[in-house]
Amino acid sequence: MSEQLSKEWWRGAVIYQIYPRSFMDSNGDGIGDLPGILQKLDHVSSVGADAIWISPFFKSPMKDFGYDVSDYRDVDPVFGTIDDFKLVVDKAHTLGLKVLIDQVWSHTSDQHDWFKESRQSRDNAKADWYVWADPKPDGTPPNNWMSWFGGAAWTWDSRRMQYYLHHFLKDQPALNTWNPEVRAEIKNIAAYWLDMGVDGFRLDVANLYHSDKELRDNPVRPAGSPLPADPPPSNPIIRQIRLHSVNQPENIDWIKELRAFVDQWPERCLLAEAGCCEDSEETAADYTKHGNRFNLCYAFGLLGSDMSKGPILRSVGRVEKLLDDGWVCWAVNNHDFRRSPGRIPGPQSNIDKSLYASALGLSLRGSYCMYQGEELALANADLSFDEIRDPYDRALYPNHVGRDGARTPMPWNGSAPNAGFSTTVSSLWISLWPEHVPAATDVQEPDQESALFHFRKFIQWRKGSSALRLGSIEILETPDPILAFRRTYETQSVTCVFNCSEFESRIAVDTIGTGQIFSDISRHAVIEGGEIILQPYGYCMLAG
């Protein structure tokens, strides 16, 4: 590998997302923790990941399970200590894994010392660290912006006699990143963790850093107009075009400032989330251009889709049209969406659906974020209302039940209590899904027909393919429901063919101009009589 590619380790990397609460519980309290992550890093390495992304483990009241931070520089006791985190970093680096940690810099918890001070008066040292506004003459909020969790994005504070902005829960006040003091403190926080040895950050809702200075109303979405990928139609915020509340043009200036600061540490990476906006693909492309913004960004186009050909082509086509010299990170699963087998139609097995979705994401141009349990083909857990802990799922129940269904405990041992996730004899923080137990890691480990075996094999093969990790992409003309594209890097070329449906499909080999099939990597696909025959959700990789 060239020196430049070594420095840009994130380009074409596979990043394994760990949701700490549900990964591994080391002390028997029913909640996953940092020592638990330490115990299972060998598994992550064996899957073939290049890096880990750890969701928030900082001090927090846990109203949004860690995405409401009350201290950016310390570990919440439920997850362990700073020393536990340092051990995770050291072992990950020993295994050759880079370490990214979640940073939530668009908002804090209302229990953060900054907000406690800010809300006391209009003239204290932190008075302008959050977005505050006077009411309209009739006492109502300053504009029509809505929260993702339902209702107005503004809450009245009787001490300041003003409203404060919160894009999510009222317990998550929005930081005022227009304020240079806030930006300076965010950079100090970044330096704290970079000096500790982390290799970069995953940046939560990075397009929410700035909001419109004039606090103008968002326009109403015209009836019948196309809906964005996020949020779901059951969320009333979908009735607005989020023109002024998110993704402001000046956000780019702050992104450049942040990138220039982080670049002082060699070989670090900024991975941004580009959700909560009208055009996730456009934002992902825009936020990674010209080498002076984020290193990479992931969009929501595949995460919320049924993985049929139409949505895939729309998302990929949009990114490729706009990306220019930027770099995207694909994902088909994470902690905010239903797991892929639960979104893909048809009677096929979870293994067939999951491996199809993951192989597709791993074959597209860009890097790839996988989510814990994806390697096991875990289905989305079907939880009752009483079992749901996520305030977002509860607010939109029953039309949106998906985030907690993807956050249930990892099954490690099919014959142990709590599937090896925890030794607790009382309750887990969230229910273990019984259907996940037969898919436990130790059950799949010796089985060469298991999802884990095929997932590992595909990633290992991908590591040796410059075409898949770094190459260009050319979408080929194919009849529905077959999707085909060619990846090319220098003299190496791979053609990827997917059946995006629950029915058998065929295509003539000569229509895509290639030949030899990589049979060990392909699945439910054969070449007979000049045709590629693909079973439901089958796929094949061909040389040339």
Bridge-partner residues for 369, per DSSP? 15
User: What φ, ψ does residue 279 adopt, rounded to 5°?
Assistant: -135, 90
Using one digit for the tens of pLDDT, what is the confidence trace for 155-169? 999 999 999 999 999
Which pTM value belongs to this model? Answer: 0.97
Structure confidence at residue 260 (pLDDT):
98
Domain containing 190: what range? 3-105+181-204+251-384+401-418+433-461
* Same domain, residue pair 494 and 356: no
Dihedral of alpha carbons 208, 210, 213, 219, sign? negative
* Same domain, residue pair 454 and 487: no
Q: Which residue has the tokens 């940092």?
A: 34
* Same domain, residue pair 511 and 538: yes
Residue 101 lies in a domain: yes
Residue 257 lies in a domain: yes
Element (H or E) spanning 315, and its range?
Answer: helix 309-322
* Same domain, residue pair 319 and 340: yes
Name the nearest CA neighbour of 284 among 265, 298, 302.
298
Structure confidence at residue 202 (pLDDT):
98
Residue 484 lies in a domain: yes
Give the whole-angstrom CA distance, residue 506 versus residue 455.
24
As given in the structure block, the two tokens for residue 399 are 């039309």
Structure confidence at residue 129 (pLDDT):
98
131 close to 167: Cβ distance less than 8 angstroms: no
402 close to 338: Cβ distance less than 8 angstroms: yes
* Same domain, residue pair 536 and 406: no
List all residues 6 or more positions away from 39 whose beta carbon is below 8 Å from its beta carbon. 24, 26
Neighbours of 131 (CB within 10 A): 26
* Same domain, residue pair 301 and 413: yes
First to last CA, the chain: 22
* Same domain, residue pair 457 and 475: no
| Residue 171 annotated as catalytic | no
Residue 366 lies in a domain: yes
Residue 137 lies in a domain: no
Overall domain count for the chain = 2
Structure confidence at residue 2 (pLDDT):
59
List all residues 6 or more positions away from 195 whose beta carbon is below 8 Å from its beta carbon. none
Residue 164 lies in a domain: no
Give the whole-angstrom CA distance, residue 202 versus residue 251.
17
Dihedral of alpha carbons 97, 200, 392, 127, sign? positive
Element (H or E) spanning 59, and its range?
Answer: strand 58-59
* Same domain, residue pair 485 and 456: no
List all residues 6 or more positions away from 310 whose beta carbon is below 8 Å from its beta carbon. none
Kindly give the confidence (pLDDT) of every residue in the chain, 544 residues in length, as a single tens digit, with 9 standing for 90 and above. 455 667 899 999 999 999 999 999 999 999 999 999 999 999 999 999 999 999 999 999 999 999 999 999 999 999 999 999 999 999 999 999 999 999 999 999 999 999 999 999 999 999 999 999 999 999 999 999 999 998 999 999 999 999 999 999 999 999 999 999 999 999 999 999 999 999 999 999 999 999 999 999 999 999 988 888 778 888 999 999 999 999 999 999 999 999 999 999 999 999 999 877 788 899 999 999 999 999 999 988 899 899 999 999 999 999 999 999 999 999 999 999 999 999 999 999 999 999 999 999 999 999 999 999 999 999 999 999 999 999 999 988 887 767 999 999 999 999 999 999 999 998 999 999 999 999 999 999 999 999 999 999 999 999 999 999 999 999 999 999 999 999 999 999 999 999 999 999 999 999 998 778 888 899 999 999 999 999 999 999 999 8
Q: How far is residue 508 from each of residues 90, 118, 515, 532, measured CA to CA in Å?
A: 51, 66, 11, 6
Residue 49 sits in a domain whose CATH number is: 3.20.20.80
Element (H or E) spanning 116, and its range?
Answer: helix 113-118
Q: Say if residue 113 is exposed, middle or buried (CB neighbours under 10 Å; 0-12, 13-18, 19+).
A: exposed
Residue 121 lies in a domain: no
Give the whole-angstrom CA distance, residue 479 versus residue 277.
32
Residue 351 lies in a domain: yes
* Same domain, residue pair 19 and 78: yes
List all residues 6 or more positions away from 408 whose beta carbon is below 8 Å from its beta carbon. 22, 381, 383, 430, 431, 432, 433, 436
Half-sphere exposure of 2 (CA within 13 A, CB side): 6
Structure confidence at residue 228 (pLDDT):
84
Residue 537 sits in a domain whose CATH number is: 2.60.40.1180
Q: Using N-to-C axis directions, what is the helix angle for 350-363 and 451-463, rounded to 10°?
A: 10
Q: Which residue among the candidates 33, 76, 110, 273 is catalytic per the annotation?
A: 273
199 close to 51: Cβ distance less than 8 angstroms: yes
Q: Which residue among the candidates 76, 204, 390, 393 is catalytic per the annotation?
A: 204
* Same domain, residue pair 299 and 446: yes
Neighbours of 363 (CB within 10 A): 23
| Residue 212 annotated as catalytic | no
Structure confidence at residue 299 (pLDDT):
84
* Same domain, residue pair 454 and 526: no
Give the CA dihedral 316, 456, 372, 150, nearest 10 degrees: 20
* Same domain, residue pair 448 and 479: no
